[in-house]
Amino acid sequence: DYGLSEADPEVREIIHKEKDRQFKSLELIASENFTSRAVMEAVGSCLTNKYSEGLPGKRYYGGNEHIDELETLCQKRALAAFHLDEKKWGVNVQALSGSPANFEVYTAILDPHDRLMGLDLPHGGHLSHGFMTPKRRVSGTSIYFESMPYRLDESTGPVDYDMLEKTTTLFRPQLIIAGASAYPRDFDYPRMRKIADAVGAFLMMDMAHISGLVAASVVGDPFEYCDIVTTTTHKSLRGPGGGMIFFKKDPVLGMDLESATNNAVFPGLQVVSNCGALASRLIELGYKLVAGGSDNHLVLVDLRPLGLDGARVEKIPEVASITLNKNSVPGDKSALVPGGIRIGSPAMTTRGFTEKEFIAVADFIHEGVQLTLEAKQSVKGSKLQDFMKFVTSPNFSLTDNVSD
Ligand code: PLP
């Protein structure tokens, strides 16, 4: 039996390059984080060899006594991390990631073609909450279920709850989904609960992005108001890649994953204050932030007032090993050339950044934006300028960021 270096040096080399990239860059993608060595050890273990379909004590395969013990421990820790009473809430920890977790919920509580409403993708929602263009049902969710989006109030920023309320009375969804991939404010759960109750809909929260902040009690508690709560385990929670579904004890379903939830609480507070420092500095530098600021771990910068788009601005920091992502902002016409960038604080908080460093991050990004502006106006000379010329040219080909 050989280790990776002997068995497959080619793969080893690629992993090595990726490790180097992660180590040397400023990771500002709001959905990413650095997990601990302990988690990596657990994930890269003999557990990978085992089939364990079913639930603890009720498996379709033999030899699951240790897996049962582990899964039960994981469930206990997941409930404890979110301060949940085991009598009232259950959790399934088997989902492979966030999108399958969401789809499992839909299949558990809806029939095909039932109606659901989630935040529109260009307004910060996630693809798995249902997304359609006028021509196409883009998301599997909108192929198998009828989806109607709700949106932000473009004049004031936060979710337009009045419009959501009006639309639900017409559309009469069976499920309303709170939660987002690029929304810097907290959700108004009491209001959403009322809206859902008025039409007899389930209320689900996909807290994938903010679960570490929920565990740390630095944002609103979705468990007080929602019937079902889903999450990934690898974003602000800083666990390994996976998903979980929390459900009120009486109802339905189930899903995947393991622990590391027990060390999720610590980074929560600092993640939010670091993001606040980043947001304040960006505002000071004159940027327009979607929803006027941030209550959580991410900011969305609207670049349109500068005549720029996120696709190009994303590329300049990348040259300087700063990783962030282009993102749609309300009012965007195209998801291919969105008008904003999304910047998150979880990963670099894990690596020890404080508010001071996040202010510097804002300044770096500002420099990148200035360079993009300059490059757009005149480009000559250096390799970097050539690169900028390339990314600012109209022929620059772009990929979509919708899945993140
Ligand atoms: N839900 C939200 C709100 C997300 O932002 C994401 C991904 O970024 C997901 C679900 C999907 O998670 P995964 O990529 O693990 O399927």
Mean pLDDT, range 178-193, rounded to an integer:
96
Q: What is the pLDDT of residue 390?
A: 52
Q: What is the pLDDT of residue 72?
A: 95
Least confident segment among 255-264, 306-315, 317-326, 342-351: 255-264
For the chain, percent of residues with pLDDT exceeding 90: 58
Using DSSP's 3-state secondary structure scheme, residue 265 falls into: coil
Is 361's pLDDT higher than 80?
yes
First-to-last C-alpha distance (Å) of the chain: 38
Residue 9 CA, distance from chain mean position = 33
Task: Yes or no: say if 67 and 45 are a contact pair by the CB < 8 Å rule.
Answer: no
Least confident segment among 1-15, 83-97, 248-262, 282-296: 248-262
For the chain, percent of residues with pLDDT exceeding 70: 88
Is 184's pLDDT higher than 90?
yes
pLDDT band, residue 397 (cuts 50/70/90): very low
* Residue spans of alpha helices (H) in 172-243: 189-199, 211-215
Which residue has its alpha carbon closest to ligand 1 atom 11?
98
Q: What is the pLDDT of residue 108?
A: 83
More confident residue, 377 or 7: 7
Q: Following DSSP, what letter does each residue of 120-175 receive, concatenated? A: -GGGT--GGG--B-SS-B-SHHHHHSEEEEE-B-TTT-SB-HHHHHHHHHHH--SE
Is 380's pLDDT higher than 90?
no
Q: What is the pLDDT of residue 267?
A: 41
Ligand 1 within 6 A of 240 CB? no
Task: Yes or no: say if 223 and 278 are a contact pair by the CB < 8 Å rule.
Answer: no
Q: What is the pLDDT of residue 392?
A: 53
* Six-digit token string for 258: 């393991």
Atom number, ligand 1, closest to the C-alpha of residue 181: 5
Atom number, ligand 1, closest to the C-alpha of residue 243: 15
More confident residue, 323 or 258: 323
Using a 10 angstrom Cβ sphere, with 0-12 exposed, 13-18 middle and 19 or more buried, the burial of residue 320 is: middle
Task: Yes or no: say if 282 and 299 are a contact pair by the CB < 8 Å rule.
Answer: yes
Q: What is the pLDDT of residue 389?
A: 56
Which residue has its alpha carbon closest to ligand 1 atom 4?
181
pTM (two decimals): 0.82
pLDDT band, residue 63 (cuts 50/70/90): confident
Task: Yes or no: say if 63 and 54 are a contact pair by the CB < 8 Å rule.
Answer: no
Is 188's pLDDT higher than 60?
yes
Q: Shortest CA distance to 320 belongs to which of 28, 65, 33?
A: 28
Q: What is the pLDDT of residue 262?
A: 26
Ligand 1 within 6 A of 327 CB? no
pLDDT band, residue 400 (cuts 50/70/90): very low
From 126, 141, 226, 228, give the residue whose CB has the most ligand 1 atoms within 8 Å, as the site to mutate. 126
From 97, 120, 123, give the residue whose CB has the most ligand 1 atoms within 8 Å, as the site to mutate. 97
Q: What is the pLDDT of residue 264?
A: 28
Q: What is the pLDDT of residue 266?
A: 34
More confident residue, 65 or 258: 65
Q: What is the pLDDT of residue 212?
A: 94
Which residue has its alpha carbon closest to ligand 1 atom 14?
98
Residue 86 to residue 75: CA distance in whole angstroms: 10
Q: Which residue has the tokens 């720029």?
A: 308
Q: Lay out the sheet containing 298-302: strands in order across.
A: 288-289, 298-302, 340-344, 325-327
Is 138's pLDDT higher than 90?
no
Mean pLDDT, range 97-125, rounded to an integer:
91
Q: What is the pLDDT of residue 269?
A: 57
Q: Following DSSP, what letter does each residue of 319-334 receive, concatenated? A: HTTEE-EEE--TT-S-
Is 68's pLDDT higher than 60?
yes
Is 362's pLDDT higher than 80?
yes
Average pLDDT score over the chain: 86
Mean pLDDT, range 329-348, rounded to an integer:
88
pLDDT band, residue 393 (cuts 50/70/90): low
Q: Which amino acid is at 132?
A: M
Name the pairing type of β-strands 202-206 and 228-232.
parallel
Contacts of 320 (CB under 8 A, 6+ apart): 364, 368
User: pLDDT digits over 32-57, tens only?
Assistant: 999 999 999 999 999 988 888 888 88
pLDDT band, residue 377 (cuts 50/70/90): low
Q: What is the pLDDT of residue 256?
A: 29
Mean pLDDT, range 99-105, rounded to an integer:
89
Mean pLDDT, range 339-363, rounded to an integer:
91
Beta bridge partners of 177: 204
